[in-house]
Amino acid sequence: MYSKIETLLVEIPTIRPHKMAVATMQTQTLVLVKITTQDGFVGWGEATTIGGLGYGEESPESIKTNIETYFAPLLQQTKGNVSSISNTLKKNINGNRFAKCAIQTALLDIEAQRLNLPLSEVLGGRLRDSIPVLWVLASGNTEKDIAEAKEMIARKRHNIFKLKIGSRKIEEDVEHVLAIKKALGKDISIRVDVNRAWSELDAIKGIQALQDGGIDLIEQPCAIDNIDAMERLTRKFDIAIMADESLMGPNTAYHLAKRNAASVFAVKVAQSGGLIEATEVNTVAKLAGIDLYGGTMLEGPVGTIASAHTFSTFETLAYGTELFGPLLLTEEILKTPLQYENFELVIPHSAGLGIQLDENKLDQFRIR
């Protein structure tokens, strides 16, 4: 049984403004969930959103309020393993996938610690000990982005890049992307994320030019609900079309797969509504022949390592991951930072998530 369920908001500045079609971030607010059991185990979970309510239907404030008001009392009354508790939460609470994911992460962290196993093993077992991580160039300035990319390559931190586009005219965006592609050369994979800013006609124009320029992937070109357009674009172009915002867990994964509305899925644990549900998305993709990419909601280290444990169990991860969230933050909230080396993130071997939070640091950046 759980003796305490605490939810805190921690706001940390980013290393530079992060410009996307949906929002420009100067800080990131981490919703951290700390669950303490009566026999002394402590589990951590995390949820983040992008630009408040700019990205999805949950905000950091709604996640905290809903956990305190609805999730915590229910959890105090529920017994059982993580699956049965998750089912009880699903039966009693609609939506709120990000909050559900944060709670499930903390419960799995506890369960794995109890078994003295890394969290990946509780999800069936890891198939790799580290995973590739790309970097997102989103300063808004072509020269700055090129310099940032070159520095990342030299430091062996990242050698794949995703560019955030969609807030400028298509021609300007294409010019920006192709200038970066030209500066970095043919061996460096460049992908773009439109964050649903284009109409279908915009997308036809933009994707054709980007495909001709050697870009490798187009992420979420059109509106969340415009599955018809996603389907037609996937059929029309050879370039990989990836569903991100449109992919909201196993159910939408099934419908997108059935419609052939994407050639790649950006799996996010929060968007899926939990780590277990993210592995279900993996199964749908595998059965439908859809490639996989490990996505992020720009979580801090808790959500990032929870995602890494999850993605480590996927049979294939053709497009790698974007688990760079903690590297976008100016402050370290772990006692020992996550290990990024040789273009990959190393997945810990110690029990549970395998991290230790620096609670003094949390106190310092906590929103009261």
Residue 91 is a catalytic residue: no
Q: Which residue is nearest to Mg ion (CB)?
A: 244
Closest CA to 325 of 97, 24, 49: 49
Residue 296 contacts which entry, ligand MUC, Mg ion, none (Cβ below 5-8 A, type-dependent): ligand MUC
State the minimum distance, in angstroms, from the CB of residue 260 to Mg ion.
Answer: 20
Count of residues binding Mg ion (CB under 5 A)?
3
Q: CB of residue 219 vs ligand MUC: minimum separation in angstroms? A: 6
| Residue 357 near which of ligand MUC, Mg ion, none (CB within 5-8 Å, type-dependent) | none
Question: 113 vs 282, which CB is nearer to ligand MUC?
Answer: 282
- Residue 244 touching Mg ion (CB under 5 A): yes
DSSP collapsed to 3 states, the chain: CEEEEEEEEEEEEEEEEEECCCCEEEEEEEEEEEEEECCCCEEEEEECCCCCCCCCCCCHHHHHHHHHHHHHHHHHHCCCCHHHHHHHHHHHCCCCHHHHHHHHHHHHHHHHHHHCCEHHHHCCCCCCCEEEECEEECCCCHHHHHHHHHHHHHCCCCCEEEEECCCCCHHHHHHHHHHHHHHHCCCCEEEEECCCCCCHHHHHHHHHHHHHCCCCEEECCCCCCCHHHHHHHHHHCCCEEEECCCCCCHHHHHHHHHHCCCCEEEECHHHHCCHHHHHHHHHHHHHHCCEEEECCCCCCHHHHHHHHHHHCCCCCCCCCECCCHHHHECCCCECCCCCEECCEEECCCCCECCCCECHHHHHHHECC
Q: Specify the residue, 113 or 220, whose C-beta has the smaller distance to ligand MUC.
A: 220
Nearer to Mg ion, 145 or 244 (CB): 244
In the complex, minimum distance from the CB of residue 22 to ligand MUC, in angstroms, rounded to a whole number: 7
- Which pair of tokens denotes residue 197? 């800013």
Span near Mg ion by CB under 5 A; candidates 143-151, 197-205, 237-245, 345-353 = 237-245
**Binding residues among 249-278 for Mg ion as defined by CB under 5 A:** none
Which residues bind to ligand MUC, rule: CB under 6 A? 50, 136, 138, 193, 195, 244, 295-296, 298, 322
Nearer to ligand MUC, 43 or 295 (CB): 295
CB under 5 to 8 A by kind: which of Mg ion, ligand MUC, none does 298 bind? ligand MUC
**Which CB, 109 or 219, lies closer to ligand MUC?**
219
Nearer to ligand MUC, 109 or 193 (CB): 193
Q: Is 322 a catalytic residue?
A: yes
Q: How far is the CB of 328 from Mg ion (least distance, A)?
A: 14
Active-site annotation holder among 64, 164, 181, 268: 164
Q: What mask of x and - would describe binding to Mg ion in positions 170 to 199, judged by CB under 5 A?
A: -----------------------x------
The residues carrying an active-site annotation are 164, 322
**What is the binding site for Mg ion (CB under 5 A)?**
193, 219, 244
